[in-house]
Structure 1
Amino acid sequence: MRTDSRRHFVSDAEERTYLESLIREDFERCHPGETLEDLKRRASFSKEDRGLLRDWMAVAAARAAAASRAKA
């Protein structure tokens, strides 16, 4: 799945923490022995990991949007 990295850019640390909380458990279940923190660290120098993190953050953004719509 290709994503637009600019579309899911998060500048606010609090928002990033919230979004990461939405995907952390699923990421760690899909990648045994790894943490989301491991991925974030590798993404700073790995193009592939940067893309994987971008895709996971897109999932988080979609989940946050769905939760927001459900509250309305």
Structure 2
Amino acid sequence: MLSNSHHHVDPANDAKRTYLESLIREDFERCHPGETLDDVKRRAPFSKEDKGLLRDWMAVAATRAAAEQAALPARLAA
């Protein structure tokens, strides 16, 4: 996924952020052995690399959340 420094996910509240993080946590830790999502979140304010990494993973989370939301009406109609 290409990143764009002007496009970022800014969850409305902590509950939304927690939900989005839950969608990517397992995959993140599989792709980055020895690191956790919390490690990157802690370093992001001080590291442009970690800030970009977190931004990209949160974009993945937002995409997954949108896909789940789009599938929800189909499940209700069935």
Q: Could you say which TM-score interval applies, normalised by the shorter chain?
A: over 0.9
Equivalent residues, number:
70
CA deviations on 1:3-48 (whole Å, 9 max, x unpaired) are: 312xx11130000000000000000000000000000011011011
Following TM superposition, the consecutive aligned residue runs of length 4 or more in structure 1 with deviations greater than 4 angstroms are: none
**Gapped runs of 5+ residues in structure 1?**
none
Q: Partners of 1:41 and 1:56 in 2: how far apart? A: 15
* Structure 2 partner of 1:48: 49
Q: RMSD in angstroms over aligned alpha carbons? A: 0.8
Q: Partners of 1:11 and 1:42 in 2: how far apart? A: 22
TM-score by length of 2: 0.86
TM-score by length of 1: 0.93
Structure 1 or 2, whichever has the larger Rg, is 2
